[in-house]
Amino acid sequence: MISALDLRHLPKHLTFGNRNIHFQQGAEMAFELPDLPYAHDALAAKGMSAETLEFHHDLHHKAYVDNGNKLIAGTEWDGKSLEEIITGTYDANAVAQNGIFNNISQLWNHNQFWEMMGPGDNAMPGELEKALVECFGSVDEFKSQFSAAGAGQFGSGWAWLVKNADGSLAVTKTENGVNPLCFGQTALLGCDVWEHSYYIDFRNKRPVYLSNFLDNLVNWENVASRM
Protein backbone atom coordinates (compact mmCIF):
# COMPACT_ATOMS: atom_id res chain seq x y z
CA MET A 1 0.00 0.00 0.00
CA ILE A 2 1.44 3.39 -0.97
CA SER A 3 1.24 6.03 1.73
CA ALA A 4 0.60 9.72 1.19
CA LEU A 5 4.23 10.38 2.07
CA ASP A 6 5.40 7.92 -0.60
CA LEU A 7 3.22 9.60 -3.23
CA ARG A 8 5.00 12.89 -2.67
CA HIS A 9 8.17 11.34 -4.08
CA LEU A 10 6.60 9.84 -7.19
CA PRO A 11 6.86 11.63 -10.52
CA LYS A 12 3.63 13.14 -11.80
CA HIS A 13 3.63 10.78 -14.82
CA LEU A 14 4.85 7.22 -15.40
CA THR A 15 4.64 5.34 -18.70
CA PHE A 16 4.14 1.56 -18.83
CA GLY A 17 4.15 0.37 -22.45
CA ASN A 18 1.63 2.62 -24.15
CA ARG A 19 -0.17 3.49 -20.92
CA ASN A 20 0.49 6.91 -19.45
CA ILE A 21 -0.35 6.96 -15.74
CA HIS A 22 -0.89 10.32 -14.06
CA PHE A 23 -0.50 10.53 -10.29
CA GLN A 24 -2.95 13.20 -9.17
CA GLN A 25 -1.27 14.63 -6.12
CA GLY A 26 -4.50 16.11 -4.88
CA ALA A 27 -4.86 19.36 -3.04
CA GLU A 28 -5.56 17.46 0.15
CA MET A 29 -1.89 16.41 0.16
CA ALA A 30 -0.41 19.87 -0.30
CA PHE A 31 -1.16 21.63 2.98
CA GLU A 32 -2.91 20.43 6.11
CA LEU A 33 -4.73 22.17 8.92
CA PRO A 34 -2.31 22.20 11.86
CA ASP A 35 -3.56 21.19 15.27
CA LEU A 36 -3.94 23.95 17.80
CA PRO A 37 -0.93 24.06 20.15
CA TYR A 38 -3.37 23.92 23.09
CA ALA A 39 -6.87 22.65 23.84
CA HIS A 40 -9.86 24.53 22.44
CA ASP A 41 -10.81 25.70 25.94
CA ALA A 42 -7.26 26.55 27.04
CA LEU A 43 -7.65 30.28 26.38
CA ALA A 44 -11.18 30.65 27.75
CA ALA A 45 -10.08 32.06 31.10
CA LYS A 46 -8.06 34.66 29.16
CA GLY A 47 -10.96 35.85 27.04
CA MET A 48 -10.97 33.60 23.95
CA SER A 49 -13.68 30.98 24.29
CA ALA A 50 -13.68 27.40 23.09
CA GLU A 51 -16.56 28.33 20.80
CA THR A 52 -14.44 31.00 19.11
CA LEU A 53 -11.61 28.53 18.52
CA GLU A 54 -14.00 25.88 17.25
CA PHE A 55 -15.37 28.29 14.65
CA HIS A 56 -12.15 30.14 13.91
CA HIS A 57 -9.68 27.25 13.73
CA ASP A 58 -11.86 24.26 12.86
CA LEU A 59 -14.03 26.04 10.26
CA HIS A 60 -12.51 29.32 9.03
CA HIS A 61 -8.86 28.21 9.05
CA LYS A 62 -9.80 24.84 7.57
CA ALA A 63 -11.66 26.60 4.75
CA TYR A 64 -8.48 28.50 3.82
CA VAL A 65 -6.56 25.22 3.76
CA ASP A 66 -9.16 23.42 1.64
CA ASN A 67 -9.72 26.29 -0.79
CA GLY A 68 -6.02 27.03 -1.11
CA ASN A 69 -5.24 23.41 -1.94
CA LYS A 70 -7.97 23.30 -4.60
CA LEU A 71 -6.79 26.53 -6.20
CA ILE A 72 -3.10 25.58 -6.48
CA ALA A 73 -3.66 21.99 -7.64
CA GLY A 74 -2.16 21.54 -11.10
CA THR A 75 -0.74 25.07 -11.23
CA GLU A 76 2.84 26.33 -11.10
CA TRP A 77 2.36 26.80 -7.34
CA ASP A 78 1.64 23.14 -6.67
CA GLY A 79 4.47 21.86 -4.47
CA LYS A 80 5.74 25.32 -3.52
CA SER A 81 5.97 26.50 0.09
CA LEU A 82 3.41 28.84 1.61
CA GLU A 83 5.99 31.61 1.65
CA GLU A 84 6.88 31.11 -2.01
CA ILE A 85 3.24 31.22 -3.04
CA ILE A 86 2.51 34.33 -0.97
CA THR A 87 5.43 36.36 -2.27
CA GLY A 88 4.94 35.04 -5.80
CA THR A 89 1.23 35.83 -6.10
CA TYR A 90 1.01 39.13 -4.22
CA ASP A 91 0.27 42.03 -6.55
CA ALA A 92 1.01 45.42 -5.02
CA ASN A 93 -0.90 47.18 -7.81
CA ALA A 94 -4.06 45.10 -7.66
CA VAL A 95 -7.29 46.54 -6.33
CA ALA A 96 -8.05 43.07 -4.95
CA GLN A 97 -5.74 40.08 -4.58
CA ASN A 98 -6.45 36.80 -6.38
CA GLY A 99 -7.96 33.72 -4.81
CA ILE A 100 -4.71 31.80 -4.49
CA PHE A 101 -3.04 34.62 -2.61
CA ASN A 102 -6.03 35.29 -0.37
CA ASN A 103 -6.44 31.71 0.79
CA ILE A 104 -2.77 30.76 1.06
CA SER A 105 -1.86 33.99 2.84
CA GLN A 106 -4.70 33.54 5.31
CA LEU A 107 -3.61 29.94 5.84
CA TRP A 108 -0.11 31.19 6.74
CA ASN A 109 -1.45 34.05 8.87
CA HIS A 110 -3.51 31.70 11.00
CA ASN A 111 -0.65 29.22 11.37
CA GLN A 112 1.29 32.05 13.01
CA PHE A 113 -1.66 33.41 14.99
CA TRP A 114 -2.26 30.26 17.04
CA GLU A 115 1.44 30.00 17.90
CA MET A 116 1.52 33.64 19.00
CA MET A 117 -0.95 32.95 21.83
CA GLY A 118 -0.73 30.69 24.83
CA PRO A 119 -2.46 29.68 28.07
CA GLY A 120 0.53 30.23 30.37
CA ASP A 121 1.53 33.31 32.36
CA ASN A 122 3.11 34.64 29.14
CA ALA A 123 5.69 36.87 30.81
CA MET A 124 7.65 39.07 28.41
CA PRO A 125 11.34 38.11 28.05
CA GLY A 126 13.79 40.84 29.00
CA GLU A 127 15.39 41.09 25.56
CA LEU A 128 12.02 41.67 23.91
CA GLU A 129 11.02 44.27 26.48
CA LYS A 130 14.31 46.08 25.91
CA ALA A 131 13.80 46.08 22.13
CA LEU A 132 10.27 47.46 22.48
CA VAL A 133 11.41 50.20 24.84
CA GLU A 134 14.24 51.17 22.50
CA CYS A 135 11.87 51.39 19.54
CA PHE A 136 8.65 52.76 21.05
CA GLY A 137 9.77 54.37 24.31
CA SER A 138 7.84 51.94 26.50
CA VAL A 139 5.92 48.67 26.31
CA ASP A 140 2.71 50.59 26.99
CA GLU A 141 3.38 52.86 24.01
CA PHE A 142 3.96 49.82 21.80
CA LYS A 143 0.64 48.34 22.97
CA SER A 144 -1.09 51.65 22.34
CA GLN A 145 0.23 51.85 18.77
CA PHE A 146 -0.56 48.19 18.08
CA SER A 147 -4.12 48.55 19.39
CA ALA A 148 -4.62 51.74 17.38
CA ALA A 149 -3.44 49.98 14.21
CA GLY A 150 -5.86 47.10 14.72
CA ALA A 151 -8.79 49.29 15.72
CA GLY A 152 -8.11 51.65 12.82
CA GLN A 153 -8.02 48.94 10.16
CA PHE A 154 -11.21 49.56 8.20
CA GLY A 155 -12.91 46.26 7.57
CA SER A 156 -11.07 42.95 7.73
CA GLY A 157 -7.34 42.69 8.23
CA TRP A 158 -4.46 42.28 10.67
CA ALA A 159 -2.35 44.32 13.08
CA TRP A 160 1.36 43.43 13.17
CA LEU A 161 4.59 43.98 15.01
CA VAL A 162 7.26 43.49 12.36
CA LYS A 163 11.01 43.50 12.04
CA ASN A 164 12.26 45.36 8.99
CA ALA A 165 15.21 44.26 6.88
CA ASP A 166 17.44 46.74 8.74
CA GLY A 167 16.53 45.18 12.09
CA SER A 168 14.23 47.98 13.24
CA LEU A 169 10.79 47.24 14.67
CA ALA A 170 7.51 48.76 13.51
CA VAL A 171 3.77 48.45 14.02
CA THR A 172 1.79 48.01 10.81
CA LYS A 173 -1.66 47.00 9.65
CA THR A 174 -2.73 45.14 6.52
CA GLU A 175 -6.05 44.59 4.79
CA ASN A 176 -7.72 41.24 4.32
CA GLY A 177 -5.05 38.51 4.07
CA VAL A 178 -2.02 40.64 3.22
CA ASN A 179 0.89 40.02 5.58
CA PRO A 180 4.45 41.25 6.25
CA LEU A 181 6.02 38.68 3.90
CA CYS A 182 4.68 40.79 1.03
CA PHE A 183 6.96 43.66 2.07
CA GLY A 184 10.09 41.72 3.02
CA GLN A 185 9.35 42.02 6.73
CA THR A 186 9.41 39.44 9.51
CA ALA A 187 6.16 38.98 11.42
CA LEU A 188 6.90 39.01 15.15
CA LEU A 189 3.29 39.36 16.31
CA GLY A 190 0.00 39.44 14.45
CA CYS A 191 -3.58 39.92 15.60
CA ASP A 192 -6.52 38.92 13.43
CA VAL A 193 -9.10 41.71 13.31
CA TRP A 194 -11.54 39.95 11.02
CA GLU A 195 -14.91 39.92 12.79
CA HIS A 196 -14.95 36.13 13.11
CA SER A 197 -11.94 36.43 15.42
CA TYR A 198 -13.72 38.40 18.12
CA TYR A 199 -17.46 38.69 17.55
CA ILE A 200 -18.47 35.66 19.65
CA ASP A 201 -16.60 36.93 22.72
CA PHE A 202 -16.50 40.70 22.26
CA ARG A 203 -19.30 41.47 19.79
CA ASN A 204 -18.42 44.77 18.08
CA LYS A 205 -15.84 45.86 20.68
CA ARG A 206 -12.70 45.43 18.61
CA PRO A 207 -10.56 47.75 20.80
CA VAL A 208 -11.43 45.67 23.89
CA TYR A 209 -10.52 42.49 22.00
CA LEU A 210 -7.16 44.00 21.02
CA SER A 211 -6.42 45.12 24.56
CA ASN A 212 -7.26 41.67 25.91
CA PHE A 213 -5.11 40.06 23.22
CA LEU A 214 -2.06 42.08 24.25
CA ASP A 215 -2.59 41.89 28.01
CA ASN A 216 -3.68 38.26 28.37
CA LEU A 217 -3.26 36.12 25.28
CA VAL A 218 0.09 36.84 23.63
CA ASN A 219 2.83 34.26 24.07
CA TRP A 220 5.71 36.72 24.38
CA GLU A 221 8.29 33.92 24.38
CA ASN A 222 7.12 33.03 20.89
CA VAL A 223 7.32 36.66 19.80
CA ALA A 224 10.87 36.93 21.15
CA SER A 225 11.89 33.73 19.36
CA ARG A 226 11.00 35.33 16.01
CA MET A 227 13.45 38.20 16.43
Bridge partners of residue 170, in order along the sequence:
162
Cα angle, residue 50 at apex, residues 208 and 86 outer, rounded to 5°: 75
Determine if residue 40 is labeled as part of a ligand binding site: no
Determine if residue 192 is labeled as part of a ligand binding site: yes
Determine if residue 56 is labeled as part of a ligand binding site: yes
Determine if residue 166 is labeled as part of a ligand binding site: no
CA 42 to chain centre: 19
Residue pair 31/65 in contact (Cβ under 8 Å)? The answer is: yes
CA 26, 27, 31, 36 torsion-angle sign = negative
State residue 196 phi and psi, 5-degree precision: -65, -15
Beta carbons within 10 angstroms of residue 59's beta carbon: 10
Residue 115: HSE in the Cβ half-sphere, 13 Å Cα cutoff: 15
Euclidean distance between CA atoms 197 and 107, whole angstroms: 14
Annotated binding site: 56, 110, 192, 196
Annotated binding site for Mn(2+): 56, 110, 192, 196
